[in-house]
C-alpha cells in the first residue's frame, strides 16, 4: 500500500480514540477509581502503539495524523500530571515544572514561526533525541505513579521517587536544549533576513 495524504486513515481513528479515552482516564483517577483509570490508561497507550504501527506498516501518513498524534501524547501527559498532582500521586512542583516547560517551548516555537515564517529550517523543529527520551520518561513516570497509587507495591514509593527525580532532570535538560535550538534558529533567521 502506498503512502497517503488522506486524513481518513485507520491510524487516525486510533489517535482519535485516544482523545476520547484521555478525559475518561483523568475523571476515573480523580474520582479514586484507580484500577479503572489504570485500565483506560493502558488502553490509551495501546492505541498510541497501534496508530504508530499502522502508520508505518501500511504507510498511512497524513498531515492530520502528524498533528494529532503528538498532540494526543501531550494531552495525555497534561491530564496525567494535573490529576496526579491533585490526587497527591505526583508532586505539584514536578507537574508545574513539566507543564511549564512545554508551555515555554510551545510559546517560543510559535513566536519564532510567526516572526520568521518561511525563513527557518524545518529541521529546527524536529524532536531531539533528548526530547524523545524526556517524553518517554515523563510518560513512564505517570504510568508508575498511577500503578503505585493503585497497587501500592512494597518499595514502590522509593522507586517512584527515583523516576520522578530523573524526570525532573531530563525535563530540565531538554528544556535547555530546546532554548538553545531556538536561539540557534533565530540566529539563522536573522542572518537570512540580513542577506536578503
Tell me what pLDDT residue 29 has.
96
| Nearest of 179, 29, 1, 167 to residue 89 by alpha carbon | 29
Asked if 146 contacts 37 with a C-beta cutoff of 8 angstroms, the reply is: yes
Tell me what pLDDT residue 189 has.
60
C-alpha torsion 90→34→146→84, nearest 10? -20
Enumerate residue ranges in the chain where pLDDT < 70.
1-8, 113, 115-127, 186-196
Tell me what pLDDT residue 8 has.
66
Entry field: residues in the chain: 196
Tell me what pLDDT residue 110 has.
74
Tell me what pLDDT residue 1 has.
41
Tell me what pLDDT residue 76 has.
93
Amino acid at each position: 500500500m502506498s503512502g497517503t495524504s488522506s486524513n481518513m486513515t485507520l491510524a487516525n481513528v486510533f489517535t482519535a480514540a485516544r482523545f476520547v479515552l484521555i478525559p475518561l482516564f483523568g475523571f476515573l483517577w480523580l474520582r479514586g477509581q484507580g484500577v479503572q483509570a489504570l485500565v483506560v490508561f493502558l488502553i490509551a497507550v495501546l492505541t498510541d502503539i497501534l496508530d504508530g504501527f499502522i502508520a508505518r506498516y501500511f504507510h498511512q501518513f497524513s498531515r492530520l495524523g502528524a498533528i494529532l498524534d503528538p498532540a494526543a501524547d501531550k494531552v495525555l501527559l497534561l491530564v496525567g500530571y494535573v490529576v496526579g498532582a491533585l490526587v497527591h500521586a505526583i508532586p505539584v512542583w514536578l507537574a508545574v515544572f513539566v507543564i511549564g516547560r512545554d508551555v515555554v517551548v510551545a510559546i517560543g516555537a510559535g513566536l519564532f514561526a510567526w516572526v520568521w515564517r518561511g525563513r527557518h529550517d524545518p529541521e529546527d523543529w524536529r524532536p531531539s533525541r533528548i526530547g524523545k527520551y524526556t517524553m518517554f520518561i515523563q510518560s513512564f513516570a505517570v504510568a508508575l505513579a498511577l500503578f503505585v497509587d493503585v497497587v501500592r507495591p512494597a518499595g514502590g514509593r522509593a522507586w517512584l521517587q527515583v523516576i520522578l527525580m530523573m524526570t525532573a532532570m531530563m525535563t530540565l535538560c531538554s528544556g535547555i536544549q530546546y532554548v538553545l535550538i531556538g536561539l540557534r534558529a533565530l540566529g539563522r533567521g536573522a542572518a537570512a533576513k540580513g542577506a536578503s
